[in-house]
Each structure stands twice: as C-alpha cells, then as structure tokens.
Copies of this chain bind each other. A is one copy, B any other.
Amino acid sequence: MTNINENFLKLQNNYLFSTVRKKVEEYQKQNPTKKIINLGIGDVTLPIPKSVIEAMKNACDEMRDSTTFKGYGPEQGYDFLKEKILQKDYYSRGIKLEKDEIFISDGSKCDTGNISDIFGTNNRVAITDPVYPVYLDSNVMAGRSGEYIEQNGQYEKIVYLPCDCENNFIPELPKTKVDMIYLCYPNNPTGTVLTKAQLQQWVEYAKKTKAVILFDAAYEAYITEPEIPHSIYEIEDAKKVAIEFKSFSKTAGFTGIRCAYTVIPKEVVGYTRNGNEISINALWNRRQCSKFNGVSYITQKGAEAIYTEEGKKEIQKNIHYYLENAKMIKQALENIGFQTYGGVNSPYIWLKTQKQQKSWEFFDELLEKSHIVGTPGSGFGPSGEGYFRLTGFGSRENTINACISMKNMLQ
C-alpha cells in the first residue's frame, strides 16, 4: 500500500489569488461597464528587451545547426553565464565567489522550495510574517512544521517573525533558537528593505547559533537607495552562513522564460547529528545533479544578454518604469491619507488600512469605489492583516487612471 507524504495534508489551501479572481469576476459581471484596473499583479507586463530576444533567436539558430547544436548542458549551468554573473553581480561589488558556487536554475521559486531537500527535517525554521508562501509551504511539506492552528493562523513549530509598522518591518531576532532562517529583501510583499547594519545582526546571529540564512534577493534590481545592500555577501562573514537566491524574473521580465541562480559559498556548512561539518554546496550540487538537468541553452543565452551594455540599459529602463509606477501609487495613497511602506526600493507598495479595517474589507471597498484590484495583506500571513499590497507592474496608463480613481474615492 503506497503511503502518501501526510505532511501535505497539513497545508492550508491558499485561496488568496483564486478568491481575488472570483470576486473580480463577480464584480465585473454585476458592473459590466466598469473598467477594472489590476494593481494586484505580481507579474511583469513589459515585453522582453530586444537584446535578450536577439540572443535567444541566435541560440535557436545554433540549435538548428549540427555544428553548434547543444544537447545536455551542465546541471549547474553554462560557464558563459556564470562568468557574467560573477563579474557583473558580484566582483563589481567587491564580492569574491567562484564559478562552482553559482547554480543556474529555472527559477527562485524552484530553488527556495527544493533547497529544503538537503536539510534535516528536525531543523527549526524561521520565516518573516507576512511572507512569500513558498518558504513556508515547502517546509510544511518536508515535515518541519506541526499542525496549522486556526486561531492564530500559524503552523506549530514554525517560528514567525512579525513585521508590521510597530517594528518598522524590521524582524526581531528570534527568541527561540532557529536553524533555517528565510529572509527576502527587498521584501515581498511589504516592499521594505534592511540596511547593512540590520542584515549584519542576522549574519551574526546565524554565525553564533550555526544557523543557515536563506536569502531571497529576487527584487534586488529595484533597490534605488545607495546604502541598501544588493547581496547578503556585502555583509562581513555572510559567506559562512548564507545562501543567496537571485532571479531574472523581475530583473529582466523572465517570469515566462524561467531563469534564476542560487549562490552557495563553499564555506557554508551544515551539521550531522554527531556535529560533523558538511559542505552545503556539495549537497546542493549532488541534489541538482540527481534531480535537475540544467536550464535551456536558449534561455541561458538570453540571460547572458542582460549583462551586455545594451541589455543592461534595456532592463534598467523597464525597472525604472515599474518603479515610477510604484512612486505614483505611493504618492497618490499618501495624498489621500494612507500610511504606506515600500515602493522605493521595490515594485511593491504596502499600505496600512485606516480605522483598523480588515484587509479583505479594504479589498471590497477599493474594488467597489475605485474599481482597483489589489492583494489583501492577510493572505501573506497573520501579521499582514490590516495591510494591503499594490504593485507597480501595471501599465503606465492603468497606473495613472488608478491614481486618479483613488483620489476620487475619498472625495
């Protein structure tokens, strides 16, 4: 009799986005003439830059020719792409890493989920709250949580680090000892960042407690303030304790093309129950060689093009566009009296509802009065209650119309 992994049964069905969709459909049905503007979108909308497309089309031509055809590539990714990453994303910031510390993959969602494979199920996991659900769900699936507690919206055994306006969205160090710490900065969903000093505290905590930090920097390209770290390795000793996830999805519009990379410095170690040090890099390499077969050559050639002068200009233009949208939304919200967070080093604006309005109530009001769709903060975790996420990923036209519509909402 085949037993299933019963940890899956602990998972709560996250109806967040499907509930959003249903409510929008219902509203549109009852108000067929109203133009609804979607600012709930967490996906890019601008097309792929020309230089990337040209590189991919050239790679297609290579695949058509027997002299340049590529079969299986390295599971860890091609050197041509790793070299660009090292040079442009790390050496340029004074961070020294080696090629075999970079693992190209088909997405940070996959990597942040699959990384769980190489760790023991007895580790205690810390996540910020609100949080990108993959960190939590992948650990529930792996058996690192207890049951879900309806009353507080938390899983047993998981250490939640609340981030709200009380602590200015800076998570406090955990009071109980933890072994695996997920941090995402610039943060999804709150759009907030950590300074070097704040991140340094986490690196020190991890060093002291022999924990590992899983640092998701998928939104790094949106950082505009010069003092904010783009990589956790800008922090002293982070190479001893941190794994970094980076993605081309939001940097270069690759959400539908699928390319990302994970950095595991060789100094990062985990421990056997007997206290023996084991290289995390070697474990991940083994995992990827056994359960992954590399990223499409065409995709990797596209990713490489991002690092050309032309490609860099093109992606920066797109990022600037989304950030301008975010700025407008933030300004519009503040003009009508909302407290907002994020939106400066991030495409995400996190707003606090007024008069302790619940996230879903705000959703309904915003849809009815302004015909704008956003994402209720409570969908990202219990500490997201009373908050709401809007994004700069819409078109300029929609963003401007949304801002006007919001202004009218409170008049």
Contact = CB atoms under 8 A, between A and B. Distances in A.
A4 B118 contact: yes
Nearest to A213: B2
Contacts of A46: 66, 69
A308 interface: no
A256 B71 contact: yes
Contacts of A291: 109-110, 113-114, 134, 138, 141
Contact of A11 (B57, B286, B296): B286
A56 interface: yes
Contacts of A137: 290
A43 B72 contact: yes
Contacts of A210: 1-2
Given A2-B211, A72-B255, A48 B66 contact: no
Nearest to A206: B2
A19 B279 CA distance: 23
A70 interface: yes
Interface string A241-273: 000000000000101111000000000001111
Given A291-B138, A294-B258, A5 B117 contact: yes
A392 B47 CA distance: 42
A48 B60 CA distance: 9
Contacts of A53: 60-61, 63-64
A150 to B, nearest CB: 20
Contacts of A44: 71
A186 interface: no
A134 B292 CA distance: 10
Interface residues of A, number: 79
A270 B3 contact: yes
The CB with the most chain B CB atoms within 10 A, among A106, A113, A134, is that of A106
Given A2-B180, A3-B179, A57-B57, A45 B63 contact: no
Contact of A119 (B4, B56, B287): B4
A401 B339 CA distance: 76
Contacts of A122: 3
A67 to B, nearest CB: 9
A272 to B, nearest CB: 6
B256 A296 contact: yes
Nearest to A277: B4
Interface string A1-37: 1111110110100000000000000000000000000
A316 interface: no
Contacts of A209: 1
Interface of A: 1-6, 8-9, 11, 43-48, 50, 53, 56-57, 60-61, 63-66, 69-73, 106-107, 109-110, 113-114, 117-123, 133-134, 137-138, 141, 179-180, 209-212, 253, 255-258, 270-273, 275, 278, 280, 283, 286-287, 290-299
16 contacts: A1-B209, A2-B210, A3-B273, A4-B120, A4-B271, A6-B272, A8-B283, A44-B71, A47-B65, A106-B295, A106-B296, A110-B293, A114-B114, A141-B290, A257-B297, A258-B293
